[in-house]
Amino acid sequence: MTASIIDGKAFAAGLRARVAEHAAAFEQAAGRKAGLAVVLVGEDPASKVYVASKGKATIECGMNSFEHRLPEDASQEALLALVDQLNADPAVDGILVQLPLPKHLDEQAVVARISPDKDVDGLTPISTGRLALGLPGLVPCTPLGSLMLLKDRLGDLSGKDAVVIGRSILVGKPMAQLLLAENCTVTIAHSRTRDLPDVVRRADIVVAAVGRPEMIKGDWIKPGATVIDVGINRLAPAEGQAKGRLVGDVDYAEALQVAGAVTPVPGGVGPMTIAVLLRNALVAAHRNAGVALAEGAL
């Protein structure tokens, strides 16, 4: 048996197209475009690339993109003042502070300062609490994108045994909450879990978000299970190569021989993250402007 490949790139393209359609309808109803503000502190090359791609995608979907750059040595007070300014700006529906921040800044305090109604990353304490309580709110992009891929592949997730490997606030913990809300039986595993392969073998759904290249082997996976690989790791380059290849947290070649369906790396969960960010910004815009959005539209 060879697993079917879950095409996150194609699903993300469809989601972005729906966001663009609803963004145009929002503009007509609200008399303004939805707006997403991204804050970049410093000159981290990877962060600069991410910010540029987010801005381009926002504009392509028919929303306003507001980019704010602060120098590497910006003070905590200056960054918090900018967040306050964006919280108060009615043209801004979503705020994303690009992480990681320079080491002298307090990331937790900065994230907590973002209005939960504009928290498109879903990382503020209030957003986290809303998710845990099952209340409407904005949810972290990568886990929500992973859930969309699972539901598209499997339909109703009720009663399925799910294992989430990794317990970060970015992926592991919110992923577990989302799966619980879908009536899965959820285990959060991590690097200190005893007999981790045996724990994983019980699962109908495996979400790997541990940050270790090709850690989850094919013989860890229950035959026919659905595997969502959130990891993205660059291996050391082979001789004669300029760059090492990108791999996930799952041994993809082995998983293909056992799983029912699996996401590739790249081209699986990665494209979903920006697509869901755009979706979150538009959902926030509808709520902030008091414009109705049909349930399940995005």
User: Where are the domain boundaries for CATH 3.40.50.720 in the chain?
Assistant: 141-271
From 93, 118, 119, 121, active-site residue = 121
Is residue 257 part of the annotated active site? The answer reads: no
CA distances from 152 to 119, 146, 194, 265 (A): 26, 10, 32, 19
Q: Per-residue pLDDT tens for 80-136? A: 999 999 999 999 999 999 999 999 999 999 999 999 999 999 999 999 999 999 999
Query: Tell me: the pLDDT tens digits for 193-234?
Result: 999 999 999 999 999 999 999 999 999 999 999 999 999 988
* CATH superfamily entry for domain 141-271: NAD(P)-binding Rossmann-like Domain (3.40.50.720)
pLDDT score, position 288: 96
> Is 98 tagged catalytic?
yes
Which residue spans within 154-273 are E strands per DSSP? 161-165, 185-189, 205-208, 226-229, 233-234, 246-247, 261-262
The active-site residue, picked from 54, 118, 160, 173, is: 54
Residue range 30-116, CATH number? 3.40.50.10860
* Catalytically annotated residue among 33, 93, 98, 249: 98
Q: Are 149 and 272 in contact (CB under 8 A)?
A: yes
Which residue is listed with tokens 């494209």?
Answer: 271
Catalytic residue check, 89: no
**Delimiting residues of CATH 3.40.50.10860 domain(s) in the chain:** 30-116
